[in-house]
Amino acid sequence: MFGYYLDLALHSLTRNKVLGALMVLAIAVGIGACMTTLTVLHVLSGDPLPGKSGKLYYPQIDPQDARGMMPGTLAPEQVTLIDGMNLLRAKRADRQALMAGGAVPIQPGSSSLDPFYVEARYTSADFFAMFDTPFLYGRGWTGADDEAHARDVVITRQLNDKVFDGADSTGRSLRLGGITFRVVGVLDSWRPNPHFYDLTTGSYNYYEQAFLPLQTALELHFAKNGSNDCWGNGTGGVEGNAYPSATCVWLQFWVELDSAAKAAAYRQFLVHNSEEQKALGRFQRAPNVQLRNLMQWLDYNRVVPGDVRLQAWLAFGFLLVCLVNTVGLMLAKFLRRSGELSVRRALGASRRALFAQLLTESGVIGIAGGAGGLLLSLFGLWMVRHRASDYASLAHLDPAMLLVTFALAIGASLLAGILPAWRACHVAPALQLKSH
């Protein structure tokens, strides 16, 4: 029976080409717009570390002075160097890493390459294990290397290709800002998006190419990137010249806690730590502690740009108009065929059969519209990729979104078909037949 309905639907679509094309086009344009924006939204709000993100937490404490203190004041979004080092050395979490962004000049050994700057991350030993970074060669450095201010560096595959022609470079030396470092590891392609561990350097499409121990970088006065917030007479410092003063927060501190119980215990530890610091006179405020996990942290920071959300709303509004339009056109189309439908009724087809036939027809329109919408959203994403935004290059359709496209198209067209089909199959057959 379904095959017959399909046949009828195709026949009917080709009989009135203009109306059929209008309906397919309306669905296609609406779906295309929706899927383009939804894909961008999906890519940007994705989990950068699936499977691991639930165990990663971003502790916040409040070392600010008493001035301007109000109940409910938010804790700073980064930590001071002193607090960061204290928390790092306390080792109260399963893993912990303190970090800051920066830029280092690379002087390749071969004279054919000019010196160039790369983005760098100054961090501590646990960074690699905590974020599950894939290693192509070698490994990260150790906690002992951190304390010894070792001249160790982990580079990315991209930098390794450029400087060492892709060879296993572990153990070889690399000059950074006039200092000789030893390459201890090469990361395979690792590009978490959003750049969750430090949102101050840009949320998307920001990749470091060199990772070195934080204490080494501080000792060598390597330039820092990112933002800082100061209070009292604190100054943010200047890149490459001085680091922010003690009353500034400018580092990110991450911990890995394997269970909810450990997370609760760690929160307690943070409160105790704040109380202790207050007793010592370093902190002036009552403990103001936050412990958000990775996805909560991204949410809190509203990493998905407002424009992207707005575009998604716009696209849904547009799809709604397209749907209302399709409902109207389908109604016109089905009612125009009242005569034909009455004949079928008179010949014994039940209302349900007619309804099924008409819905099949709207489903066919949905599939055609979905195919058109897919092409349009591929085109839309291509346009997004050519825009000048930091997330542009991430806009690609994945298999999940491909399925969503067709589901949305068919669902939408069936929804649009219900009212017209219901109206059309309730036409009184006798009246229609008589009038003809």
* Binding site residues, another protein, CB under 8 A: 19, 22, 25-26, 29-30, 33, 67-68, 103, 105, 107, 114-117, 177-178, 223, 227, 232-242, 245, 305-307, 309-311, 314, 317-318, 320-322, 324-325, 327-329, 331-333, 335-336, 387-389, 419, 423, 436
For residue 116, the surrounding DSSP H or E stretch is strand 116-123
Least distance (Å) between residue 433 CB and another protein: 12
Rounded least distance, CB 135 to another protein, Å: 28
Nearer to another protein, 272 or 351 (CB): 351
Closest CB to another protein among residues 237, 411: 237
| Smallest separation, CB 139 to another protein (Å) | 29
Minimum gap (Å) between residue 403 Cβ and another protein? 25
User: Which CB, 11 or 387, lies closer to another protein?
Assistant: 387
CB 88 → another protein: shortest distance, Å? 24
Please answer whether residues 99 and 79 qualify as being in contact, where contact means their C-beta atoms are separated by less than 8 angstroms: no
Q: Are 183 and 171 in contact (CB under 8 A)?
A: yes
The helix/strand/coil state of 174 is strand
**Which residue do the tokens 């036939």 mark?**
357
The distance of closest approach from Cβ of residue 89 to another protein in the complex, given in angstroms and rounded to an integer, is: 25
Q: 117 or 382: whose CB is closer to another protein?
A: 117
Output the smallest distance, CB 318 to another protein, in A: 6
Q: Tell me the closest approach of the beta carbon of residue 1 to another protein, in angstroms.
A: 28
For the chain, helix (H) and strand (E) counts, in that order, are: 14, 13
C-beta of 234 vs 370, nearer to another protein:
234
HSE, CB side, 13 Å, CA atoms: give it for residue 308.
23
Tokens (6 digits) for 368: 């055609």
Q: Where are the beta strands (DSSP E) in 207-363?
A: 210-213, 223-224, 229-230, 248-249, 252-256, 290-293
Measured from the CB atom, is 127 or 204 closer to another protein?
Answer: 204
Distance (Å, whole) CA 119 – CA 209: 6
Q: Minimum Å distance from CB 351 to another protein?
A: 18
Task: Identify the burial level of 50 via C-beta atoms within 10 angstroms of its C-beta, where 0-12 means exposed, 13-18 middle and 19 or more buried.
Answer: exposed
Q: Identify which of residues 111 and 233 has a Cβ nearer to another protein in the complex.
A: 233
* Nearer CB in complex with another protein: 187/378: 378
- Taking the C-alpha atoms of residue 91 and residue 273, their distance in angstroms, rounded to an integer, is 13
Angstrom CA distances, 176 to 53, 109, 192, 239, stand at 32, 11, 25, 16
Q: How far apart are alpha carbons 360 and 2 in whole angstroms?
A: 8
Closer residue to another protein in complex, CB, 80/325: 325
b/e burial code for range 121-142 (CB count within 10 A of at least 16 → b):
bbbbbbbbebbebebbbbebbe
Q: Tell me the two tokens of residue 373.
A: 């919408």
- Select 29 or 150, whichever has its Cβ closest to another protein: 29
How many whole angstroms separate alpha carbon 222 and alpha carbon 122? 9
- What is the β-pairing status of strands 173-176 and 152-156? unpaired
Closer to another protein by Cβ: residue 72 or 178: 178
What are the residues facing 101 on neighbouring strands? 121
Give me the least distance between CB of 307 and another protein, in Å please: 5
Minimum Å gap between C-beta 97 and another protein is 24
**Residue among 25 and 371 whose Cβ is closer to another protein:** 25
**Residue 217 in tokens:** 């970088």
Tokens coding 22: 């209008």
- CA–CA distance from 133 to each of 192, 249, 266 (Å)? 10, 26, 24
Q: How many CB atoms lie within 10 A of CB 292?
A: 16
Q: Are strands 116-123 and 210-213 parallel, antiparallel or unpaired?
A: parallel
Q: CB of 252: closest distance to another protein in angstroms? A: 16
